[in-house]
Chain A
Amino acid sequence: MSEAPRPGLQRRFRAFHAVQRLSTAGSRRFTAAGRLLALLFLGAAIFGADPRETQAYRLAAFLAGCFVVAAVGVRRTRPRVLVRRELPALVTAHEAAGYYLCVTNTGAATAHALLLHDELASAPTAPLAAARSATDGGADNWFDRRVGFLRWLAALRRARGAALEPVVVPTLRPGATLRLFVPITPLRRGRLEFAAVVVAQSEPLGLLRGLVRLPLAEALVAVPRRHPVPALPGVADPRLHGAQRLVRSTGSGEEFFGLRDYRPGDPERHLHWRSFAKRGSPVVKQFADRFRDRITVVVDCHQPVADETTFEALLAVAGSIATRPRAADCELEVLVAGESTSALRAGAGLGLLATLACLESVRHDTHQAIAARLTRDAVGACFVVTSTWDASRAPTYGRLAARVPGLRVLLVGAPVTAAPATWLVAIDPAQVAAGLTHLAGAPDARAA
């Protein structure tokens, strides 16, 4: 359960917010020349406080005149444009991607010196969450250790999802449309909420910019990274399908291939009446067992202590397995053990990845619920991806492994405290790709 920061911290972070807004407004409103001359004005005002000592007051007066005229010019500068985004279906966290901004000049005059700022919104609780993380360690200089503003800023940026640079718009004639590429590197997985596009245009002196905010709410999902998985252990192994009930709801699991004499115990619905009539003795249809590949991926969201890095790696492992190319008749089921255990039938991989992208870790233990669900439903190759391992889990999963031959527990990040088992695979969060590459070889679990 989240806790509110102390009142003193709340005041500090309100100040952070104010400084950040001021800084953003300043960087958008002032051009590079405007910023330089504003600093010069400040210096001139300080040194010109006593007109008897220097002429700096005259310099300050000239600069003040420039900014007043610029402010008047800004009032008369209102860019008239329409903006539209062309977003990709998905982007991957921490990987460079891009999208397009289509800007159309709806005014009567050619638009020069336009700048587009695409704004990402953060959740209302994000600043508070950012505030909490700002009190954690990790500062790299004494100022940040003491004040925490830079850490808060970095956390806020992560909460928003990406840091977008402004986009320069070339000269845009009336009625013309330009398609501009915007690079984006998501700083986290999850939904990136776009709020608006701010269009800036310089006034004639080039010191200030007029701003127009165009609300344009859209969302982009940043999915966890995926890595190649050359082979999955237990998939397409007929030994796993011999006497087990297979596909349940996707059609018959038996194929008719012949007739034979009736034997006591055969179901009467298998009687072949035509042949019975011909022969005078009961004849039953003979069926052969069919089977399909089935992969079950269980994502265990339990983390006693939130660890975003490990959880990202866990989701990367789960996503990599879930999106590995498979046969057309290979069925995939993803179980998410979070607040509750829910199942995702994987039709489109994008929907699955989007769901994985938005998962959050939970604090309550989930392995019993996972075991119960797998005991009831697990068939085929089953991969439990977890980052938690303790003395209570080993016997539970051990029993499960005895019942579900295709079970593999992929332990991401946590040291193993039990004896190594063939069904237990350890993956280093920093080397997920290497861990997945060797998955088919199922290296022994690391001991603590």
Chain B
Amino acid sequence: MREDTRFVLPRAVVSASAAAWGLVGGQLFAGLVLAALLQLPALLRWRLELEPAHYYRAADLTSVGFAAFAIYEFNGRGLLGIYGILAGIPLSVAPLVLLAGYSEQQAIPASALALSIRRRVLAGTAPEIWLDPGPAFVALCLLAASGGKLPAPWFDLLAAAILCALLVAARPRGTSFPPWGTALVCAGALGLSTAAGLVRLHAGLEDALQSWFTAHWYVPDFDRATTSIGRLGRLKLSDAVRLRVRTTRPLTAPLLIAEASYQTFRLGTWSTEARRYEAVDAEPGGGAWRLAPAAPGPAETLEIDLPQTREVGMLPLPLGTRRLVSDQIIEIRRNAIGAVQAEAAPGQVRFRVETGAAVGGPPPQAADLVVPEEYAAALRTVGAEIGLQGLAPQSALAVIRRFFAERFRYSLVQRGFFPGRLPLSAFLLQDRHGHCEYFASATVLLLRHAGIPARYAVGYGVDEYSRLEAAYVARARHAHAWALAWVDGRWMPIDTTPALWYALESDAAGATQWVSDLWSWAEFRLARLRLAIEALDARILLGLAAALVLVLAWRLRGQIRARRDAAPPALAANLPDAALRPLFAALAARGLTPQPGETVGAFLGRLLPARSTAGELRRLVALYYRNRFRAGGLPEKEHAELVALAADYVRAAPGTTLRTVR
């Protein structure tokens, strides 16, 4: 191999990479053993004398083993098996790398890796090429380590260390440290900022795609809510503004605005059987709907702006909504468990709600007490742990709140695999950390286990005030889930998610959030302006249009008059020869003028006599041009001939045969 076209890594770097992979990827023992085996040849004095056939067998064995491993992973985990394969790549290729380490050549032949190359090498039509597997193995270890559990800062350090080692080995001869070091530092800084941006970009793209998909393709199913329960990794939602809420008084606590509630939980999805929506009669005069009977007590008024992408959408309402007023909503429909749909033109929909003490919806149904069979054991364990049995509803509520508050923590990250695919059981019994969907779902099930009817509600937690919007805003990442419990004859929101969640979500705001907020505000203002224009009285619009037309007419008035006053240029007056003036004047009087750029001959030939007199016409044109361009004009005799011919044409009507003059 040429000196310049390969780079050699120290054996220690290769071994360290294997150990790092083992440490990060949860394969510590395997990683350490592999590292030791890779480092051992440095201490040994002997080497194996290997033939290419030995490498071929090792490569074939490795290929078969890898294929079997891949099948095992895909079979067990479906498409997610790709991550298992990623984690196990270093072990898969270890046989070949070890063989190279213990061989005399310290390399593997390229023919061992590809059958086509092997065939040619064996036939003698291609030379053997030896490859050092060290750098490739280090790269694979690094890639495999990226699928491990190491948190970001530590992974960054690990990746930086291994990449540094690779780049040190690849440093060109003669390159001094300052430029190389500077380049490395710049690359690292750029990489870190890119990594942060990628996360935001991914969330933004997901959100945008989802919105586009929802707007153009997806027909939402209002009767089910698919949760992220059981989904691994970090839950990420975007900063896009979803709701704008204006209140009469500042909020002292996060306001829960519910879109819908559900009763049945199965395989990570909450659903309801109450699929039938009944229209709610509007109040006389239209534009207002009463959703709950008026009750004594203070009332609160909220104004909510909601972007509606379809004609029919769920209406997020605070618990205790009694009355709804909107001039954009055409119809309100409600189902048996109180979820509200609104029919309105797509766009920014504004409505006003009056809230106060209310029942909060129809009474519970049988489904509000059902506990899924698969979670019964876990609920019994927890119930026994906290002494839930036999408690009065209010006491049970307090115990459940205290249970979650004291023993659970909020987290957006889920790692590890859930045995038997029961993530809520793992949440309740083992992990005890999760996001709002975990808390809400577990609370609902625990309440039901305690005999309290409960539902799962989804919506938004509103607490952020935007000075730009002059309103409270609910972003996509403020989407929230909580439990509703039927206690003392009314539905109560039971939010057991640690209050810390809101602060954590706010901390996750990106540095460029202000840009997207500005854009969102501009879009919102434009939408409102369009609505305002559309809402204007047609007479006013007509009046404005008429005024514009009058102004335009007044401005154009002078120009039109100027045009009409200007007479068309007198063609005859422009002719240099007076002999043809009467002829052209006569033709002009009949409305016949030459076209722009038309010669005298073409004009006359077009208009005047028939073919039999073409000779006179040519004579006339010739005399005309000779008179025009000849110094001193025509001689007297020819000038007289020109005048006579022109006079004859004056007498002749267009299209008639000319009388012979001579």
**A390 interface residue per 8 A CB criterion:** no
> B555 → chain A, closest Cβ, in Å?
56
Report chain B residues within 8 Å CB of A56.
86, 143, 146-147
Least Cβ distance of A100 to chain B in Å? 18
For A206, list chain B residues within 8 Å (CB): 7, 167, 170-172, 175
Q: Output the nearest chain B residue to A43 by Cβ-Cβ distance.
A: B143
Does A140 have its Cβ within 8 Å of any Cβ on chain B? yes
A66 within 8 A of B: yes
Distance between A25 CB and nearest chain B CB, rounded to angstroms: 16
10 closest Cβ contacts across the A-B interface? A112-B174, A52-B233, A33-B170, A65-B191, A65-B190, A62-B191, A61-B195, A113-B172, A206-B170, A61-B194
CB proximity to B under 8 Å, residues A58-93: 58-66, 68-70, 73
Chain A CB within 8 A of B150 CB: yes
| Interchain nearest-CB distance for B162 vs A (Å) | 9
B5 neighbours in A (Cβ, 8 Å): 31-32, 115, 166, 168
Asked, given contacts A50-B233, A58-B155, A58-B159, whether A65 binds B188 with beta carbons under 8 Å apart, the answer is yes
Chain B residues contacting A34 (CB-CB under 8 Å) are 170
| Contact, CB under 8 Å: A141 / B135 | no
Interface centre among A70, A115, A166, A205, by most B CB within 10 Å? A205
Residue on A with the closest CB to B184? A205
A57 at the interface (CB under 8 A from B): yes
Task: Across the interface, name the chain B residue whose C-beta is closest to A76.
Answer: B179
Distance of A204 Cα from B182 Cα, bound (Å): 9
Report the separation of the CA atoms of residues A113 and B189 in the bound assembly, to the nearest whole angstrom. 27
B2 partner residues in chain A, CB cutoff 8 A: 165-166, 168
Q: Is the CB of B183 within 8 A of A59?
A: no
With CB as the reference atom, state the residue of chain A lying closest to B2. Answer: A168
List chain A residues, Cβ under 8 A from B135.
32-33, 36
Instruction: Looking at the assembled complex, report how far the CB atom of A163 sits from the nearest CB atom of chain B, in whole angstroms.
Output: 12
Complex CA–CA separation, A69 to B202 (angstroms): 24
* Given contacts A40-B142, A143-B116, A69 and B4 within 8 Å (CB-CB): no
Instruction: Assess whether B183 is in contact with A65, with CB atoms less than 8 Å apart.
Output: no
Question: How close is A154's CB to chain B, nearest CB, in angstroms?
Answer: 10
Q: Residue on A with the closest CB to B178? A: A204
B167 touches A33 (CB 8 A): yes
- Could you name 18 residue pairs across A and B whose Cβ atoms are closer than 8 Å? A31-B170, A32-B135, A33-B7, A40-B142, A54-B83, A55-B146, A55-B155, A58-B146, A61-B195, A66-B191, A112-B172, A141-B119, A166-B2, A204-B183, A205-B167, A205-B187, A206-B171, A207-B170
Q: How far is the CA of A48 from the CA of B184 in the complex (A)?
A: 22
Report whether B183 and A70 are in contact in the complex, using a CB–CB cutoff of 8 Å: yes
B89 closest partner in A (C-beta): A43
Q: Decide yes or no whether B314 CB sits under 8 A from chain A.
A: no
Taking CB atoms, residues of chain B closer than 8 Å to A31 are 4-5, 7, 170, 172
A53's nearest neighbour on chain B, judged by CB, is: B233
Asked whether B236 lies within 8 Å of A53 as measured between CB atoms, the reply is: no
The reply to whether B175 and A113 form a contact with Cβ atoms under 8 Å apart is yes
A56 CA / B199 CA spacing, docked (Å): 12
Task: Assess whether A205 is in contact with B183, with CB atoms less than 8 Å apart.
Answer: yes
| Interchain nearest-CB distance for B536 vs A (Å) | 47
B153 CB to nearest A CB, Å: 10
A54 to B152, CA, bound (A): 10
Decide: A37 near B150, CB < 8 A? Known: A62-B188, A204-B180.
Answer: no
Contacts of A143 in B (CB 8 A): 116
- Residues A52 and B234 in contact in the complex (CB < 8 Å), given A40-B143, A205-B180, A206-B167: yes
C-alpha gap A43/B120 in the complex (Å) = 29
| B-contact 0/1 string along A187-229, CB 8 Å cutoff | 0000000000000001111110000000000000000000000
Interface string of B141-185 (1 = CB under 8 A from A): 011001110101001100110010011011111110001101110
Measured CB to CB, the residues of B under 8 A from A are 2-7, 82-83, 86, 115-116, 119-120, 123, 135-136, 139, 142-143, 146-148, 150, 152, 155-156, 159-160, 163, 166-167, 169-175, 179-180, 182-184, 186-192, 194-195, 198-199, 202, 231-236
Within residues 295 to 341 of chain A, which ones have a CB less than 8 A from any CB in chain B?
Answer: none
Question: Is there contact, CB below 8 Å, between B143 and A57?
Answer: no
Nearest CB on A from B486, distance (A): 36
The reply to whether A50 and B173 form a contact with Cβ atoms under 8 Å apart is: no
What residues of A have a CB within 8 angstroms of the CB of B231 in the complex?
52
Question: With A31-B170, A206-B167 given, is the CB distance from A36 to B233 under 8 Å?
Answer: no
Residue of B116, B139, B188, B235 touching A39 (CB-CB under 8 A): B139
B190 x A48 contact (CB < 8 A): no
Least distance between A437 CB and chain B CB atoms (Å): 26
Interface membership of A171, Cβ < 8 A: yes
Of the listed residues A33, A55, A113, A165, the one surrounded by the most CB atoms of chain B closer than 10 A to its CB is A55
Which of chain B's residues have a CB closer than 8 A to the CB of A37? 139, 163, 166
A252: interface (CB < 8 Å): no
Closest B residue to A60 by CB, please name it: B198
- Residues 118-148 of chain A: 1 if any B CB is under 8 Å from the residue's CB, otherwise 0? 0000000000000000000000110110000
Say if the beta carbon of A396 comes within 8 Å of chain B. Answer: no
Q: Hey, which chain B residues are within 8 Å of A203, CB to CB?
A: 172, 183
Q: How far is A60 from B233 in the complex, measured between Cα atoms in Å?
A: 18
B116 to chain A, nearest CB (A): 5
Given contacts A37-B139, A69-B183, contact A58 B195 (CB under 8 A): yes
**Distance of A127 from chain B, by nearest CB (Å):** 23
A273 at the B interface (CB under 8 A): no
Q: A36–B174 contact, CB under 8 A?
A: no
User: Nearest residue in A to B171 (C-beta to C-beta)?
Assistant: A206
Q: Is the CB of B169 within 8 A of A33?
A: yes
List the A side residues contacting B116 at CB < 8 Å: 140-141, 143-144
A211: min CB distance to chain B, Å: 15
> Is A110 in contact with chain B by the CB < 8 A criterion?
yes
The answer on a CB contact under 8 Å between B170 and A48 is no
Q: In the bound complex, what is the Cα–Cα distance between A279 and B174 (angstroms)?
A: 98
- A66 vs B180: C-alpha distance in the bound complex, in angstroms? 11
**Does A258 make an interface contact (CB < 8 A)?**
no
In contact, A171 and B173 (Cβ under 8 angstroms):
yes
Which residues does chain B contribute within 8 Å of A112, judged by CB atoms?
172-175
Complex contact B152–A36 (CB within 8 A): no
Q: Are A204 and B179 touching (Cβ within 8 A)?
A: yes
Measured CB to CB, the closest approach of chain A to B423, in angstroms, equals 15
| Bound Cα distance A314, B159 (Å) | 63
**With contact pairs A55-B146, A205-B183 given, residues A171 and B188 touching in the complex (Cβ less than 8 Å):** no
Q: Given the complex of chains A and B, what is the CA–CA distance between A165 and B4 in angstroms?
A: 12
* Whole-angstrom CA separation of A62 from B2 in the bound complex: 29
A55 touches B150 (CB 8 A): yes
Most chain B Cβ neighbours within 10 Å, of A58, A140, A143: A58
Taking the closest CB of chain A, its distance from the CB of B166, in whole angstroms, is 7
A113 to B7, CA, bound (A): 13
Report whether A36 and B139 are in contact in the complex, using a CB–CB cutoff of 8 Å: yes
Contacts of A60 in B (CB 8 A): 198
Indicate whether A47 reaches chain B with its CB closer than 8 angstroms: yes
CB–CB A59/B159 < 8 A: yes
Within the complex, what minimum Cβ distance (angstroms) separates B218 from chain A?
Answer: 20
CB distance from A269 to the nearest CB of B (A): 70
Q: Are B152 and A55 closer than 8 Å at their CB atoms?
A: yes
Given A33-B166, A52-B236, A55-B146, 17 extra CB contacts under 8 A: A31-B4, A33-B170, A51-B233, A52-B233, A53-B232, A55-B155, A58-B146, A59-B159, A61-B198, A62-B156, A62-B159, A65-B186, A65-B187, A113-B173, A113-B175, A203-B183, A205-B187
One digit per residue, 1 when the CB lies within 8 angstroms of any chain B CB and 0 when it does not, for chain A 16-37 equals 0000000000000001111011
Closest to B1 in A: A32
Known: A51-B202, A112-B173, A112-B175. A69 touches B6 (CB 8 A): no
> Within 8 Å of chain B (Cβ to Cβ): is A44?
yes
When chains A and B are docked, how far (Å) is the Cα of A32 from the Cα of B5?
6
Q: Which residues of A contact B190 (CB under 8 A)?
A: 64-65, 68-69
Q: Which among B136, B146, B156, B159 has the greatest number of chain A C-beta atoms within 10 A?
A: B146
Known: A32-B7, A141-B119. A50 touches B202 (CB 8 A): yes
In the complex, the answer to whether A48 meets B146 with C-beta atoms within 8 Å is: yes
Partner of A204, one of B6, B146, B172: B172
